[in-house]
């Protein structure tokens, strides 16, 4: 499955992937780090939404964890493995409600999926079991399955 992911051209990253990376999640950090590094070196376009900034920060703010907040600040102000953060466009806002209904997603997840579609991503990496692939959406890869 990892080999299939590595053949992708444009890969969308859900917020939990960035959380695992920045917060050094014991179970997934090494896999996420090596996978993103290899994809970046191979010229794969890594895409996410600006929405991930708030999604990533909320846990650290809730826990009042200054060290994690600083780690996110460094990550988002740095090169981020070349991850392109896309703004939430009008087109995405108009597409997301139908995506939410069709795929039984909450609005933030629908915004991510709609952004992936809008950006022409051929893969979507997450660890959220709520995401399923299907036309015209990208193939969903769960990091726990890689």
Cα separation, 93 vs 91, in Å, equals 5
Cα separation, 91 vs 133, in Å, equals 20
What band does 137 get if pLDDT is binned at 50, 70 and 90? low
Q: Nearest to residue 69, comparing CAs of 127, 22, 117, 15?
A: 22
Cα separation, 78 vs 7, in Å, equals 26
What band does 124 get if pLDDT is binned at 50, 70 and 90? very high
Domain 2-145 part of CATH 3.40.50.1010: yes
Cα separation, 146 vs 138, in Å, equals 17
Radius of gyration, CA atoms only, the chain = 15
**For the chain, which residues make up each domain, given as ranges?**
2-145
Q: Which pLDDT does position 132 carry in this prediction? A: 74
**97: CB partners within 8 A, 6+ apart:** 107, 110
Computed over every residue of the chain, the mean pLDDT equals: 93
Task: Summarize pLDDT for 1-49 with one digit per residue, the tens.
Answer: 788 888 999 999 999 999 999 999 999 999 999 999 999 999 999 999 9
The tokens for 16 are 């939990």
């Amino acid at each position: 499955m990892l080999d299939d992911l590595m053949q992708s051209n444009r890969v969308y990253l859900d917020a939990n992937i960035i959380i695992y990376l920045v917060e050094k999640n014991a179970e997934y950090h090494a896999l996420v780090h090596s996978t993103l590094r290899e994809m970046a070196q191979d010229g794969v376009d890594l895409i996410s939404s600006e929405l991930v900034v708030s999604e990533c920060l909320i846990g650290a703010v809730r826990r009042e964890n200054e060290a994690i907040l600083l780690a996110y600040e460094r990550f988002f102000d740095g090169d981020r493995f070349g991850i392109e953060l896309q703004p939430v466009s009008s087109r995405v806002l108009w597409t997301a409600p139908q995506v939410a209904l069709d795929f039984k997603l909450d609005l933030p997840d629908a915004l991510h999926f709609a952004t992936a579609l809008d950006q022409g991503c051929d893969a979507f990496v997450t660890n959220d079991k709520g995401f399923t692939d299907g036309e015209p959406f990208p193939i969903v890869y769960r990091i726990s399955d890689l």
